[in-house]
Amino acid sequence: MADDQYTRQDPRHQYPGPEQQRGHEQRHPGTDEDMGPTPDHGERTYRGSGRLVDTKAVITGGDSGIGRAVAVAFAREGADVVLSYLPEEQEDAEETAELVRRADRRAVLVPGDLRTEDACRDLVDRAVGELGRIDVLVNNAAYQMSQDDGLLGISSEQFDRVFKTNVYALFWLCKAAVPHMRPGASIINTSSIQAFQPSPELMDYAATKAAIVNFTKALSADLVGKGIRVNSVAPGPVWTPLIPATMPAEKVDTFGGQTPLGRAAQPAELGPVYVFFASQESSYITGEVLGVTGGQLLT
């Protein structure tokens, strides 16, 4: 286990490998407490350095996984955060909010299903009402469901849910948030290695992640004249509740083993990348996709 994100060590053995993972299947959306091993979101390992002081951020999918890691990192860097999540994830969201408050930052909890435009507008309105403005929008909420039968296993209902959650919500949120963003603001979209190396069992999910990459590049060109940067983080395999909640146990037991580093990422390893895109350190970067993939290439 890392002492903090600055401790130099062998990345192959920094966190548990697939042989220590157990496929305790869960119902979607899944919870952290039922996972083995419990994911590291940076609770004990992320050390802030004031890079986001007085930043006001909105994080979707902020209850657990990557979203929780981003919330922890942002708070320890000085940001107040609005956390968006599904109502059934309230317990996990409360835990994330507590971690933010321990960093002496404000956490605003906004449960809701972002598959409607009204819910996306309500989230933005609540964020502006509570925090006064939006400096960083992190579009991280996502839905996937693995189907061994590929195309024939994907129902129209699943296809609709995946696109509404992953793409429509991102579009609606950006459209609602941009009028409240000042020059220097940042939008960060979570795509995936699946946008570049799609798996047949995640065909619909992969298609949405490819759409996010394309949308990120187009939106960055559209908003550069407003001084708003738009970038994307493309994770590879990450040990989050989404995995045992959407994949069969036998795949969970080997999850991440195909990467050159030989393991899945922990959410804490994603947090610093979002901080980088949110901070002024990345002032000359927009329209980029940064892979956090354990050595797998975005080709």
Give the active site residue among 46, 205, 274, 284: 205
Bridge partners (DSSP) listed for residue 292: 235
Integer Cα distance of 220 and 45 in angstroms: 32
Q: What is the DSSP string of 241-274?
A: THHHHHS-HHHHTTTTTTSTTSSPBPGGGTHHHH
Instruction: Give every CB contact of residue 79 below 8 A, 6+ residues apart in sequence.
Output: 52, 53, 54, 55, 56, 57, 105, 135, 136, 278
205 flagged as catalytic: yes
Q: List, by residue number, the catalytic residues.
A: 205
